[in-house]
Structure 1
Amino acid sequence: MNQQRLIYRLGERGMPKSIGNKASGLQALRTKGFRVPNTMVCTWNAYQQYTQNQTDLLSQLQTELSENLKTNCTYAVRSSANVEDGFAHSFAGQFTSRLDVQGVDAVLAAIRNIWKSTNADTVQAYVQQAGRERDQIQMAVLIQEMVTAVSSGVAFSKNPVTAVNEVVIEAVAGQGERLVQSGVTPSRWTAQNGQIIQASEEAVLEEPVLTEIVETTHRIAKTFKQDVDLEWAYDGQHVYWLQMRPITNLRETAVYSNAISKEMLPGFIKPLVWSINAPRHEHIIKQVVAEIIGNDKFEKSELTRTFYFHAYFNNTALGNMFSAMGLPPDSLENMMGIKAKAAQKPKMKMSFQALRHMPRVIGFIHHKLWFGRQLKKFFPQMEKRIKAFPINDLEQASEADILEYIDTLHNLSFPISYHTTVGMILMFVHNKILDSRLRKSGFGLEDFHLTHGMEEIQTYDPNIQLAQLTRQFHALSTEQQNQIQKATFAEFQQLPNLKPLQTALNIFIEKFGYLSDNTNDFSTTTWREKPDVILNLIKRSDSQQRQTAPKPRFESLPLPRLHRLFLNNFYHRARRFCYYRERISALYAYSNNLYHVFFLELGRRLTEQGILDKPNHIFYLYEYEVRAIVTQQEPEHTIATTIQERMAEMKSLEKIELPNTIYGDTPPPVTISSENKLSGTPTSNGTYTGVSRVVKGIADFDKVQRGDVLIIPFSDVGWTPLFRHAGAVIAESGGMLSHSSIIAREYNIPAVVSVNGAMKLSDETLVTVDGYQGKIFIHNHPQQAIGTSTL
C-alpha cells in the first residue's frame, strides 16, 4: 500500500484541501498571476499523524524533504492552520515561525516546533477566547523560499482601524520580522484613489515600488472581492507576495473631515450660526443626492457635527451616498475642487446599483447642462424677494414680526444655497473641461484671461470699485488728502469740498456694506458697521496701484482653427458660469447678512430688557433658545450664565490645533502646536520671505503693510482688498477655488491654504512661504532677508 504524500509544491495538480488557510491564500494568488515565492506545503495529515505518534512519520517527511529542498537555499517555515486568517479571528502571531532555515534536518525541526506550538498556553487561551476547542486545530506548514529583501512590510486594502477605503502600507528595511520588533517604527503610507495622501519622510521605498504595491494591493482586493491584509517583500527587482488573509473584525467607523468645512463652514462657529447653517448645508447635499438616486434613503443620515465649535463633515455617510451611485466616496470633494489631482483618475464603478441609477444620473446631468437658463430666471425673482425685507424699519417691527421675517428668510435661503452650491460645482466642472481640452494644444486656463471684457462681473467685485475710490482719493490735492488722513469716517463725512468722494464712498458702503470677514458666519461685523475700515484702506493705499502683466485673451491664443471652433462652446460656458458664480455668491452673502441684521435687532432688544449683556451675545445661543426667550418660554435668569460659559469655553479653545480627520464620535484630545515648520496645500506658485501679519477679522485690516505675509483664518471676497499689499498669503482653510487662492494667482503671489496652526503665529515673525510644496518655514533669525520673492 502506497503511503499518502505529505509535501506538495504550490500550484501542483492534485493539491489536497488539507493545506491550511495561509497556503490556500498563496495558492489563490499564484493562480491569478500574482508573484509568489516558490513554496511547498506540508499538509495537516502529517500533523494528525504526529498527534497520533505514528512512528514512520519523521522518516517519510525526511525522505520527501530531501527530494524537494534545494541544497543552497534558505527557507521560511510558517504555520498554515485551518483556524488562521479567518474573517472572525486571525490567530496572528500565535504559532511559531522560523526564518532562514537551511537543510533537511533544520526544516524538519522547524516543522516539529510549529506542531508543538499548538499546545502553548497562549494558543490555548486564544482558542478559548475564540470559542473553539483545542482539538479543532489542524496544522499544515508552509516551506517558502526566502526572499533576500531590500525592504518588506504589510499592505491593507482598507484601513483596518477606521474601515476607510484607502490602501495602508507599512515597510521596514530588510526582512519583515522587524515590523514586530519593539522599538522599530515602520515607515507608513496611505493612498486613496491611487494618490498618496500621507507619506513617510523616510525613503524606505522608492516611488515606483510604492506605486506597484498600492496598485497591486487594490487589484488583489478587487480580484478576490474582499478586503485583504498582505505581506510582501522587495528584493531590489521584484515585489513578492508572501501572505494574504482577510482583514478581520472590520467595523465601519464614522470618519469626520474638515476638508469641505473649510469651504462651507470655516473657523470657529458660534451656536446660532451652527444651528442655521449646518441644517441648510446638510439639506442641500441630501437634495442633490435625492435628485440623482431618486429616494430619501439617506434623509436621516447625520452629515455634519461640531468638535470644539469647529464643523466636520461625516465622510463615511457622504461616501455611502456616492458609493450607492457607483461614484467614488470622495466625489463631493472632487467636484468642489477641494482635493488635489489624483495620480489615478477615479472611475465610476458599473455595479448593479450604478446601472440602476443610470437613467436618473443621465437625467440629472442633462438638467444641469441647462442650469444656466434656470439661473437666469432665478436671479431677478430671488433678488427682488430677498431685498424686499424692511431692514431699515425694523424698529417699528415687533419681536413676532422679526421671527416671521427669519422664517421667511429660512424658506428663501434653501433655494439660494442650492443654486450657490450647484453653481460653484458647475463652474468648476466647466473650467475643468475647458482646461483639459486646452491641454491637448499645450495651453491651460492660466495662460489667458478667462473673464476678459465681462463688465457684468465687475458689478459684484468690491475690489475693482475700491480701486476706483482709491484713484479718486489720490486725485485730490495734498491738503485734502491730509485732512482725510486725520479724519474718522464720521468726520470725513463733514469735510467740505469732498462731495464726489463722499458720495462715491457712501454708494460703495450701501452696495457692499453687507460683506464681512466671512459671509458664512453671519455673527461677524459687516463693512456697514465699520466704515472706518474701508476709509482707512483708501487712505493707506499707494498712489501707484499694483500692476500685473495683462494676460492675453482667449482669441489671441495660437490655436489651430478647427480646435478653436471646437473650444468656443466650452469657452463661453466657462465664462458664463464664472459670472453666475459671482452673482449667486453675492446673493448668498446678502441673504446671510439678513440673519445678522434680524438677530442683532433681537439682541439689542433683549439687551435693553436686561436679558443679555450685549446685543452680539445672542450669537452664543442656539436658534431654539432665542425663540424660547423671545416667546418667554425660557427662564431668563439662566441665559447670561449659559452665554458666559460658552464664551469662556470658546476662548479656552482659541489656540488648540484640531486634526483634519477625526475618527469616531468622541472628541479627540486637543493639542497646541509649537512647530517651526507648517504645511498645507499650495495653490499659487512662488516662494517669498517676509514678516507675518495675522489678520483675524475686519478690525485687523489696518495692520497690514506692503510686503507682509498675510495670515488669515479663511478667505472671503471681503478680504480681497488686503491682497494688494501682501507679499504672500497663508490661510488656515480653503482650497484651489477659495478667494485667497484665486486672488493670489491673479496677483502672482505665493499662497498656501489649509495650514493647520497658521493663526497661532505672531505678528512680525519672519516666515518663508513655499507655494510650490505647500511649506511654511518659521525662522529664528530676524536678520534673514525680508521681502525675498521667487516666482
Structure 2
Amino acid sequence: MTYINNLGDVGQGDVAMAGGKGVGLGGLVQAGLPVPPGFVLNTAAYADFVEANRLQAGIRELDSLSPLASPQDYEDASNRIRALFAGGTMPAAIATELGAAYRLIGDGDAAVAVRSSATAEDLPSASFAGQQETYLNVVGAEALAAAVTDCWASLWTARAMAYRAREGIGPDAVRLAVVVQRMVEADAAGVMFTANPANGRRDQILISAAWGLGESVVSGTVTTDDVVVEAGSGRVLSRRTADKEVMTVVADHGTREQPVPAGRRRQPVLDDQAAAELAGYGTRIADHFGAPQDIEWARAGGEFFLLQSRPITALPEPAADAPDTWPVPYPKGLYFRASIVEQLPDPLSPLFADLIDGSVSRSLRALMAGAIGKNVIGEDDVGLPTINGYAYYYYRTSAMLRVTAMSLAAMRALIRGTAHMGVAGWREYSHPRYERVIKDWSAKPLGGLSGEELLEGVQTLLDAGTVYYTAVQSIIPVAATSEISFRAYYDKLVRRNGDAPAQTFLLGYDSEPIRAEKSLYDLAAWVRGVPGLAPAILNAPTPALVESQRTGVPPAAMDQALWGLWRPRFQDHLGRYGHAVYNLDFVCPVPADDPSPLLETVKFYLRGQGTDPHERQRLLAARREEETGRTAARLGPRRRAAFLRLLRWAQNAAPIREDALADVGLAWPLLRRMLLELGQRLVGSTVIAEPGDVFWLRHRELRSAVEFGLAAPGAPAAVAITGADRPVRAAAIEERRMLWRGQAKASAPQLLPESRWMERAFGSMMPAASQQQPGDVIKGTGASSGRVSAPARVLRGPEDFATMVPGDVLVARITTPAWTSLFAMASAVVTDVGGPLSHSSIVAREYGIPAVLGTGVATQRLTSGQRIRVDGDAGTVTIERGPRPADGGSA
C-alpha cells in the first residue's frame, strides 16, 4: 500500500486522496511557485488506522447529533472520539512509509509543519477553514507520528462535527489526509485574498501581515497590518499599519507567543515593494486556479513562501466605494426624494435612468398644463435626474414658486377631476387609456418587430406608465385628506374613553393587494384538495418550479398529470396579479417574470402557517360595522351626519388608492419582454454577453445599435463601430454593475442641497426621517399600533424574500403592493420610506401588526437576526442589547 504522495504529484481531481489543502498545495507546486518541500500522507492511511483499531462503529454512534444539539453535547462526543484515536496504534506499514518520507526532507531531525487536509475542506462551496488542527515545529519521527494521530483525531473536534452537521455531511463521507512540510521559521507571515472580501473587487488584493509565524494571524490573536494592492500593477491603494503587540515564534517544542520589540510594533511588516511582489504571486495563483484564492504566506530571509491556497467562499459581488458627497447637477433648483421616487428606493439602472427622466418631465408638465395652465412649468423646470445613481424630483426654484402660487387652482382641478386628476380622472381616463396602450402593443408579435419598433414600444409603454403614475399621485392627496379629516373629527368630537381607534372604521375592505393575497391562499387550499399535489409542490425546489413554469416541463418532483392541473391555475394568478412591481425600475423582474416569492407564499400556506385572509377580513368588517352602528346611534343628527359623511369619504378613497397603485406596473411584463427581445438580438450580434445586459446600456448605445441594424432579427455580428457608437463589451457592463452596487450601499439624502433651511421648509413633508440617528433608538412614524419584540429581517428586494422566517420583523426600504404576501409572515413592519397613509401602513393595519415607517435609516442600521423592539404607538424601533425582555417577545 502506498500512503505517501509527493506534493507535486497531487492534481485537482485528488481531493478524495489528498484533501483540499493537499490539492491546493499541489497546484502551487505545479505552477512553479515557492512552496516549502513536503509530502501528503493520504486518506488511505487514515482509513487503515481507523479500520486497524476498529474505530468506525464508535465514531458513527457518537457522531449522530442533531444540528440543533447543544455545544456541550458536541464537546462530550468529540472528547470521546478523540480518546479512541489516542488509544489507537499506528499500523507498522504506515509508520514505515511516514518515517522514510520524513527522512527525505530533513535527515530525520528537521522541524516540520503538520497540517490536517480533510476531504470536505477548502472547497468552493464551503471552506471548513479552521475546523481541523495544525502542529508547527514538530521534530523527530516519534513526534511526527504523534502529530499525525492528533491531526486525524482533529477531524472530530466539536466545531468540525457541528459544522458538518449544519452542512448535512455524514461521518462516513469525510476522511483526513495530512500534509507534512519543512518548517519555515518566518520573520513575517499572514494571509492574502486575491479579491477584496470587503467589496468583492476582483481587481484588488488584500494582504494581512504580522511579525513572526502566521498562526497568530489565522487564529486572530494579533492585530494585522492590512494592505490593499491593485492587481496587475502592484500599486498600493491603501494601507493600515497596526500596533502589533504580540508575535508567534518557534520554541524548543512547538511555538510560543512573545511581545513584539518596541521598535517594530508600529513599523509596517511589508513595504510597498514587498507587497507588490507578494501580490504578483497572488495574481499568478488566482490565474492558475481560475478563481479568487485565500492564501497563507510566510517570509524568511527576504524570500516569500506559500503555505496554502483555497477558494474564497461567500465572496460578494464586486462593488465600488459608496459615495459620500452629493453634488447637484443644476445649482438653481430643489431636489426631493418623494412622490414617484418612493417607488425607486435603489440606484437606477442606466437605461431606466435615461428613459425615465424625460418621461416624468413630459407627463408632469402635461398634467400641470391641463390643471393650472400651460405656462406655469417650462421644459427645463422639472425632471428626474440622478445623483450617485439615485433619482430625485427636480424643480427649478422659480418653477417651484410658481407652482406654490397656483396651489389653490391645483386643488380645485383635483376635486373636479380636471386633466385626468383625482378618482374620477383615474377611473374614467387614466386607467382605460393605460390599458388601451398595453392592449395595442400586446397584439404585435415581438419576434416580427424591428429593433426600431421595439424601442418605440418600450418608450411608448414607459410613457404610458409614467402618465398613469402621475395621475395616480393625484389620488393620494384625496385619500390622505379624507382619512386625516375623518380621524381629526372622530378623535376630537366623537371618540370617548374606551371607544375603538379611528383605524377600526377603515379596515376590512377589499383592494387589489388583498385580492392577490386571497388568490394565493385559495390556490393553496385548492392544492390541498388535489391528491399528491401538495407534497409534490412542497418537495420541489422553488427555482425548479420557476423554471418549469417558464418552460412548461414539469419538475422532477411532479408527474405530468399533476403538472397539467397546477400550471394553468398558477398561470392564471400570474396573469391577474403578476404585474405588481417591487421597484419601478424595469431592471427588477416582476412576479410574472420570477414568481419565486409567490411560490414561497403558497408553500407557507401549504405548511399550515398564516391565517385565513377571508376570515380576517370578515372579522374586521364585522367589527367595523358594529362600531359604526354603535357610534352613530349615540350621536345627535348633525354630528351623526358629519361623522357618516366623513367616514364614507375615507372608506371609499383608501381602497381606490391601493387599486390604483397596484396597477402601476401593468405595462412592465410586456415592456421587459420587449427589452429582453432586444437584448437577445444584441447577444447574437456580440454587442452584449447576455440578454439582461440590455438594462445596463445607456439609451444612446441602445439607439446606436438599433440604428446600425444590430437589433434586427438575425442581425450579423457587430463590426467596427467607432466613437460613442462602439459596441459595449462585458467589462463596461460589469463596471456599471459594480458602480451600482457601491451606490446601493449609500443612504441617499431626502433633500438636496443639504441645508438647514431646506430641512426646516420641507423636512416634515418628506417620506423619511432624518438620517442622523445615533444610538439604539431609531425614530420614524407610528403607522399601525402595537408593540413587538422579534428578530429583524432586512430585505433588499424579492431576491431576499426566501430568507423571511415567520415571526420576523420585515425591514425594507419601501414596500409596494407586490410585497403584501410577506405581511402574512411578519410580526411587524419597519421601512426607511413611508408614512401613516402609505401602502405599508394600510396593509399592516389590516394584518393587525405594528408598523414604524419613514425611519430613513432602518436598512442601514439594522441587520438580519438582530433583535429589535417595534413600537407602533410611539413610532420607535429599539435595538435590544443583552438579555431578552421578561415578556419573552410580543407585547
Q: Fold match, TM over 0.5? A: yes
After superposition, the C-alpha distances for 1:47-69 in whole angstroms (9 at most, x for unaligned) are xxxxxxxxxxxxxxxxxxxxxxx
Q: Check the 8 A contact 1:705/1:725 in 2, yes or no.
A: yes
Are positions 1:552 and 2:624 aligned together? yes
Q: Check the 8 A contact 2:852/2:872 in 1, yes or no.
A: yes
User: Which of 411, 430, 446 in structure 1 is aligned with 2:502?
Assistant: 446
Query: Could you tell which deviates more after superposition, 746-755 or 359-368?
Result: 359-368
Deviation at 1:411, TM superposition (A): 4.9
User: Which of 574, 594, 601 in structure 1 is aligned with 2:677?
Assistant: 601
Deviation at 1:524, TM superposition (A): 0.6
2:194 — aligned with what? none
CA distance 1:495–1:706, shift in 2 (3 Å): farther
Are positions 1:527 and 2:565 aligned together? no
Distance (whole Å) between structure 1 residues aligned to residue 887 and residue 573 of structure 2: 35
2:797 — aligned with what? 697
Deviation at 1:730, TM superposition (A): 1.8
The code of the aligned residue for 1:717 comes to P
Are positions 1:377 and 2:428 aligned together? yes
CA distance 1:621–1:682, shift in 2 (3 Å): farther
1:68 — aligned with what? none
The code of the aligned residue for 2:592 comes to R
Deviation at 1:512, TM superposition (A): 1.8
The code of the aligned residue for 2:676 comes to L
Query: Could you tell which deviates more after superposition, 317-326 or 610-619?
Result: 317-326
Are positions 1:767 and 2:868 aligned together? yes
Deviation at 1:725, TM superposition (A): 0.8
2:833 — aligned with what? 733
Q: Check the 8 A contact 1:522/1:596 in 2, yes or no.
A: yes
1:422 — aligned with what? 474
The code of the aligned residue for 2:389 comes to F
Are positions 1:682 and 2:782 aligned together? yes
User: Which of 663, 668, 675 in structure 1 is aligned with 2:753?
Assistant: 663
The code of the aligned residue for 2:344 comes to L
2:313 — aligned with what? none
2:381 — aligned with what? 301
CA distance 1:732–1:364, shift in 2 (3 Å): closer
Distance (whole Å) between structure 2 residues aligned to residue 782 and residue 483 of structure 1: 42
2:734 — aligned with what? 644
User: Which of 788, 799, 811 in structure 2 is aligned with 1:711?
Assistant: 811
After superposition, the C-alpha distances for 1:281-329 in whole angstroms (9 at most, x for unaligned) are 34444445444542424322244432211122347739833664165xx
1:113 — aligned with what? none
User: Which of 370, 380, 392 in structure 2 is aligned with 1:312?
Assistant: 392
The code of the aligned residue for 1:779 comes to E
TM-score, normalisation: structure 2 = 0.51
- DSSP-derived class of the 2:747 partner: coil
After superposition, the C-alpha distances for 1:56-110 in whole angstroms (9 at most, x for unaligned) are xxxxxxxxxxxxxxxxxxxxxxxxxxxxxxxxxxxxxxxxxxxxxxxxxxxxxxx
CA distance 1:771–1:539, shift in 2 (3 Å): same
The code of the aligned residue for 1:533 comes to P
Are positions 1:539 and 2:603 aligned together? yes
Distance (whole Å) between structure 2 residues aligned to residue 546 and residue 787 of structure 1: 22
The code of the aligned residue for 2:702 comes to V
Are positions 1:511 and 2:576 aligned together? yes
User: Which of 619, 624, 629 in structure 1 is aligned with 2:695?
Assistant: 619
Deviation at 1:507, TM superposition (A): 0.9
Are positions 1:272 and 2:337 aligned together? no
CA distance 1:618–1:755, shift in 2 (3 Å): farther
User: Which of 342, 349, 352 in structure 2 is aligned with 1:263?
Assistant: 342
CA distance 1:372–1:738, shift in 2 (3 Å): closer
Distance (whole Å) between structure 2 residues aligned to residue 280 and residue 597 of structure 1: 20
CA distance 1:270–1:773, shift in 2 (3 Å): farther
Q: Check the 8 A contact 1:472/1:501 in 2, yes or no.
A: no
CA distance 1:283–1:444, shift in 2 (3 Å): farther
Deviation at 1:569, TM superposition (A): 4.8
Unaligned ranges ≥5, structure 2: 1-330, 549-554, 709-720, 756-770
Distance (whole Å) between structure 1 residues aligned to residue 393 and residue 660 of structure 2: 23
Name the Cα RMSD after superposition.
3.6
Distance (whole Å) between structure 1 residues aligned to residue 882 and residue 494 of structure 2: 47
- DSSP-derived class of the 2:391 partner: strand
Deviation at 1:450, TM superposition (A): 3.6
- DSSP-derived class of the 1:682 partner: strand
CA distance 1:317–1:394, shift in 2 (3 Å): same
CA distance 1:430–1:279, shift in 2 (3 Å): farther
CA distance 1:498–1:374, shift in 2 (3 Å): same
Distance (whole Å) between structure 2 residues aligned to residue 675 and residue 614 of structure 1: 45
1:635 — aligned with what? 725
Q: Check the 8 A contact 1:768/1:777 in 2, yes or no.
A: yes
Are positions 1:469 and 2:520 aligned together? no
1:32 — aligned with what? none
1:754 — aligned with what? 854
- DSSP-derived class of the 1:588 partner: coil
Deviation at 1:707, TM superposition (A): 0.8
CA distance 1:317–1:470, shift in 2 (3 Å): farther
Distance (whole Å) between structure 2 residues aligned to residue 786 and residue 724 of structure 1: 23
Distance (whole Å) between structure 2 residues aligned to residue 659 and residue 460 of structure 1: 33
The code of the aligned residue for 1:398 comes to S
CA distance 1:580–1:681, shift in 2 (3 Å): closer
Q: Check the 8 A contact 2:785/2:851 in 1, yes or no.
A: yes
- DSSP-derived class of the 2:580 partner: coil
Distance (whole Å) between structure 2 residues aligned to residue 743 and residue 359 of structure 1: 33
1:405 — aligned with what? 457
Deviation at 1:508, TM superposition (A): 0.6
Q: Check the 8 A contact 1:684/1:741 in 2, yes or no.
A: yes
Distance (whole Å) between structure 2 residues aligned to residue 572 and residue 715 of structure 1: 27
1:779 — aligned with what? 880
After superposition, the C-alpha distances for 1:463-491 in whole angstroms (9 at most, x for unaligned) are 121121232234455x5432221124232
Distance (whole Å) between structure 2 residues aligned to residue 730 and residue 629 of structure 1: 44
Deviation at 1:406, TM superposition (A): 2.3
Distance (whole Å) between structure 1 residues aligned to residue 402 and residue 658 of structure 2: 28
- DSSP-derived class of the 2:671 partner: helix
Query: Could you tell which deviates more after superposition, 780-789 or 507-516?
Result: 780-789
- DSSP-derived class of the 2:833 partner: coil
Distance (whole Å) between structure 2 residues aligned to residue 709 and residue 273 of structure 1: 31
Q: Check the 8 A contact 1:255/1:664 in 2, yes or no.
A: no
Q: How does 1:77-156 map to 2 (within 5 A)?
A: none
Distance (whole Å) between structure 1 residues aligned to residue 830 and residue 372 of structure 2: 39
Distance (whole Å) between structure 2 residues aligned to residue 603 and residue 782 of structure 1: 53
The number of aligned residues is 500
Deviation at 1:402, TM superposition (A): 0.8
Deviation at 1:708, TM superposition (A): 0.6
Unaligned ranges ≥5, structure 1: 1-251, 328-357, 666-670
After superposition, the C-alpha distances for 1:672-729 in whole angstroms (9 at most, x for unaligned) are 9996543333322222221122222222222111111112222111111111111111
Distance (whole Å) between structure 1 residues aligned to residue 367 and residue 521 of structure 2: 39
After superposition, the C-alpha distances for 1:145-199 in whole angstroms (9 at most, x for unaligned) are xxxxxxxxxxxxxxxxxxxxxxxxxxxxxxxxxxxxxxxxxxxxxxxxxxxxxxx
2:136 — aligned with what? none
